[in-house]
């Protein structure tokens, strides 16, 4: 009998819930596993602004443990994998994608119902920029921490709402906190949002191949293709989202200024999301993405 796969994960309630989902999927495929908790740079600095932590804040420690042979599989929120894949590692499988949209956690049932000047908690550059375009009157307040901590900050800091990923709230039983969900086209999701990625050492992808969801895999790789090609940094928001449309796929890419006053957006449709990346990147560059990205010091 083969040894159980060691699944490396962060220690937050959401990360543990995602590792449990991976373990359940593997068990359903006849593969035994056990969860190994690893602390990451992002977890060790819970109050530091995300932009100051740099790429890999929530992923690099898991990847280092994988390369060192301390775990066999790293379980990630796919949106945390913002950089290039380190040498020797592979994105081997993705579980079926959950709701990729962002959620408003507050009393309002729609953005139109949010009062002028409402105070909204989020530390995401992408969310700040897109909310700034949708409702420039909102006061955006930086907050960090796990999902429950950020929900608690709403009352503690006198916020009208916090904005979080809908899938994360659902995975830890907090969907009741959602007032409404933003349309994906209005608040374009982070590349990979809603997907759980299983990363292995190169050559060992077969260990988790049985749980790979082909459609999610293709969609997330296309989204990552857009953001990787653009070379977006830590201080300029970049987003991409692929979804099924009219029997095929629609891929949307977006780059914005941090204050939301400028943006470049492009989309393409076709039978395979991987074949849409070139057109979306070209469309973004034609719309001024390179000028926006230059603000990151690239």
Q: How confident is the model over 64-82, as pLDDT tens digits?
A: 999 999 999 999 999 988 7
DSSP letters, 40-103, are -HHHH-TTS-HHHH-TTTTTHHHHHHHHTTS-SEEEEEGGG--SPPPTTEEEEEEPPP----EE
User: 216's torsion region: left (phi>0), alpha (psi -120 to 50) or beta?
Assistant: alpha
Of all residues in the chain, the percent with pLDDT exceeding 90 is 82
pLDDT of the residue at 258: 87
Domain 102-181 CATH class label: alpha beta
Residue 112: is its pLDDT beyond 80? yes
Write the CATH number of the domain with boundaries 225-296. 3.30.160.40
pLDDT of the residue at 233: 54
The two beta strands, 102-106 and 89-94, are unpaired
Which one of 20, 32, 52, 80 is the catalytic residue? 80
Q: How confident is the model over 268-298, as pLDDT tens digits?
A: 999 999 999 999 999 999 999 999 998 765 4
Residue 63: is its pLDDT beyond 50? yes
* List of residues 6+ apart from 238 with CB closer than 8 A: 126, 191, 226, 227, 230, 232, 253, 254, 255, 293
Output the six-digit token pair for 1: 């009998």
pLDDT of the residue at 174: 97
> Domain limits of the chain?
5-96+192-212, 102-181, 225-296
pLDDT of the residue at 54: 46
Q: How confident is the model at residue 144 (pLDDT cuts 50, 70, 90)?
A: confident
Q: How confident is the model at residue 44 (pLDDT cuts 50, 70, 90)?
A: very low
Phi/psi of residue 154, nearest 5 degrees: -55, -50
Average pLDDT over residues 153-164: 95
Return d(Cα 103, Cα 127) in angstroms, integer: 11
Of all residues in the chain, the percent with pLDDT exceeding 70 is 91
Return d(Cα 100, Cα 95) in angstroms, integer: 13
pLDDT of the residue at 239: 95
Q: How confident is the model at residue 234 (pLDDT cuts 50, 70, 90)?
A: low
Q: Check for a shared fold between 5-96+192-212 and 102-181.
A: yes
Which CATH number among 3.40.1210.10, 3.30.70.2660, 3.40.50.150, 3.40.190.10 corresponds to the domain 5-96+192-212? 3.40.190.10
Neighbouring C-beta atoms of residue 68, cutoff 10 Å: 8
List Cα–Cα distances, 216 to 16, 92, 122, in angstroms: 21, 12, 27
Q: How confident is the model at residue 265 (pLDDT cuts 50, 70, 90)?
A: very high
Residue 181: is its pLDDT beyond 80? yes
pLDDT of the residue at 235: 74
Average pLDDT over residues 86-90: 95
pLDDT of the residue at 45: 45
- Mean pLDDT, all residues of the chain: 91
Known active-site residue 80? yes
């Amino acid at each position: 009998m083969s040894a159980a796969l060691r699944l490396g994960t962060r220690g937050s309630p959401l990360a543990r819930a995602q590792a449990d989902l991976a373990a359940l999927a593997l068990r359903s495929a006849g593969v035994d596993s056990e969860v190994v908790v690893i602390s990451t740079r992002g977890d060790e600095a819970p109050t530091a602004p995300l932009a100051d932590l740099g790429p890999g804040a929530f992923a690099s420690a898991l990847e280092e443990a994988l390369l060192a042979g301390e775990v066999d599989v790293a379980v990630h929120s796919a949106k945390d994998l913002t950089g290039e894949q380190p040498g020797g590692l592979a994105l081997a499988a993705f579980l079926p994608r959950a709701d990729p949209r962002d959620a408003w956690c507050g009393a309002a049932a729609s953005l139109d119902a949010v009062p002028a000047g409402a105070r909204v908690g989020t530390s995401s550059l992408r969310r700040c920029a897109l909310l700034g375009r949708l409702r420039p009157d909102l006061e955006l307040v930086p907050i960090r921490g796990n999902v429950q901590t950020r929900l608690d900050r709403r009352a503690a800091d006198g916020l009208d709402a916090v904005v979080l990923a809908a899938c994360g709230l659902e995975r830890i039983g907090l969907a009741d906190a959602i007032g409404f969900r933003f349309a994906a086209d209005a608040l374009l999701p982070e590349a990979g949002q809603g997907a759980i990625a299983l990363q292995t050492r190169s050559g060992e992808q077969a260990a988790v191949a049985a749980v790979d969801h082909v459609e999610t895999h293709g969609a997330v790789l296309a989204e990552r293709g857009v953001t990787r090609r653009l070379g977006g940094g830590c201080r300029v928001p970049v987003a991409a989202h692929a979804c099924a449309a009219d029997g095929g796929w629609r891929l949307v890419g977006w780059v914005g200024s941090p204050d939301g006053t400028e943006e470049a957006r492009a989309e393409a449709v076709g039978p395979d999301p991987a074949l849409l990346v070139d057109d979306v990147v070209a469309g973004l560059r034609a719309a001024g993405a390179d000028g926006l990205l230059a603000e990151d010091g690239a």
